[in-house]
Amino acid sequence: MQGAAPFFIVGAGRSGTTLLQAMLMRQPRIAIPPETHFFCRFDPSIHFSDPLRDDQVEQYAAWATSQPWWMELGLDAKALRTHIDDGGRSAASILLWMLRTLTNECAPRLGEKTPRHEKRLARILEVFPDAKIIHIYRDPRDVVASLQREPWMAGQSVQRVARHVRGTLARQRAAARQLGPDRYAVIRYESLVAQPERELRRLCAFLGETFCEEMLRFHERAEPGYLPSEAAWKHLTMAPLDPSRHGRYRTLLSLRDIRTVERVVGPQLSAYDYEREPGEPDRLVWRASAMLERTGWWVKRLARSARKRLRTVHIMAVSSGGASL
């Protein structure tokens, strides 16, 4: 089951990937399931070969189906094994099987939306050489403000989250230059919210599909496109567009944190046409804050390393004691 290549929606988390997914799902020919995280969690090449060899099938099936995200998706282990036994041993075949299973094979055009896949583009294009990529981006300050409040970024400093966003934008610019506009579409979140029909028509043309008015009524969809466990941070896509969410960082971040994001992201802020907050930043305060943040990170890293070493020494001591008995 090789089939046509799916298209991929990527970007930094909290940049509008779920909103874009919801809009495209309303096109009758397109189906996009919840995030699969395939190239981060289930790609055979992570621990095995692609395609799987005979001696790897059992191990791969056990490894893939034991992961918590597999259970979250509700996929059937026996069905995967049947698919592999029927010849579907490549990464492309397994992912297509997952997409079709999760969408009940309800549409001829498949999409995959996992924001983190923006780090796996080389591998995606190795598996699907004809794949098209859609990268959505948003004001980095709004992204940082939003990410800091999500469970997977809990405890991360503004500076570290900003560096994460900077890396995403840098990879996006490099991929856009490499692949060109026929393979790699870039969309601005604020433009999608302000002029959804214009932007969706452009994306439909990029995908070779037809725009339909239902895409503007994305909040009326029957299938949310995300798992129940993700509703806490994705439920807003079940409501109409809210332009007031642009610029929320001004109420969620302190001026010092805003300056930190602007300095970390650097020239990319103006390259994407986002204006800096007015006024001259206190560079001495920022540098002192950056040094403290970096020092704290190293202290935590050294503490984690020390704990691991102590656990290893303890295990070895217990093992030696048990052996001597």
Per-residue pLDDT, 80: 98
Same domain for 162 and 43, yes or no, is yes
Rounded CA-CA distance 253/255 in Å is 6
Per-residue pLDDT, 324: 45
Mean of the per-residue pLDDT values for the chain? 90
Q: In the predicted model, what is the mean pLDDT of residues 91-97?
A: 98
Residue 185 lies in a domain: yes
Per-residue pLDDT, 280: 64
Same domain for 254 and 305, yes or no, is no
Per-residue pLDDT, 247: 94
Given pLDDT bands bounded at 50, 70 and 90, which one contains residue 312?
low
Same domain for 93 and 217, yes or no, is yes
Residue 304 lies in a domain: yes
Q: What percent of the chain has pLDDT over 70?
A: 87
CATH number at residue 233: 3.40.50.300
Cα separations in angstroms, 69 against 114, 115, 151: 13, 15, 16
**CA triple 239-240-241, angle to 5 deg:** 120
Res 323 pLDDT > 50: no
Q: In the predicted model, what is the mean pLDDT of residues 303-311?
A: 68
Per-residue pLDDT, 36: 98
Residue 240 belongs to domain spanning = 7-281
Per-residue pLDDT, 279: 74
Same domain for 98 and 190, yes or no, is yes
Per-residue pLDDT, 143: 97
pTM above 0.75, yes or no: yes
Any idea which of 106-115, 134-143, 313-322 has the lowest mean pLDDT? 313-322
Same domain for 147 and 193, yes or no, is yes
Residue 169 lies in a domain: yes
Res 228 pLDDT > 50: yes
Write phi, then psi, for 66 (nearest 5 degrees).
-90, -5
Chain-centroid distance, C-alpha 191 = 20
Res 276 pLDDT > 90: yes
Same domain for 97 and 183, yes or no, is yes
Residue 181 lies in a domain: yes
Same domain for 232 and 317, yes or no, is no
Residue 83 lies in a domain: yes
Residue 2 lies in a domain: no
Which pair of tokens denotes residue 60? 């791969």
Per-residue pLDDT, 291: 67
Given pLDDT bands bounded at 50, 70 and 90, which one contains residue 3?
low
Q: What is the DSSP string of 97-137?
A: HHHHHHTTT--SEEEEE-GGGGGGHHHHHHH-TT--EEEEE
Residue 266 lies in a domain: yes
Res 210 pLDDT > 60: yes
Number of domains in the chain: 2
Same domain for 196 and 97, yes or no, is yes
Given pLDDT bands bounded at 50, 70 and 90, which one contains residue 314?
low
Q: Does 273 or 283 have the greater pLDDT score?
A: 273
Same domain for 166 and 306, yes or no, is no
Same domain for 155 and 212, yes or no, is yes
Burial of 83 (0-12, 13-18, 19+ CB in 10 A): buried
Same domain for 167 and 76, yes or no, is yes
Residue after which a domain boundary falls, among 247, 262, 281: 281
Burial of 309 (0-12, 13-18, 19+ CB in 10 A): exposed
Q: In the predicted model, what is the mean pLDDT of residues 218-229?
A: 96
Given pLDDT bands bounded at 50, 70 and 90, which one contains residue 294?
low
Given pLDDT bands bounded at 50, 70 and 90, which one contains residue 78?
very high
Given pLDDT bands bounded at 50, 70 and 90, which one contains residue 292?
low
Q: What percent of the chain has pLDDT over 90?
A: 80
Residue 182 lies in a domain: yes
Same domain for 222 and 297, yes or no, is no
Per residue in 152-205, pLDDT (tens digit) is: 887 789 999 999 999 999 999 999 999 999 999 999 999 999 999 999 999 999
Res 325 pLDDT > 70: no
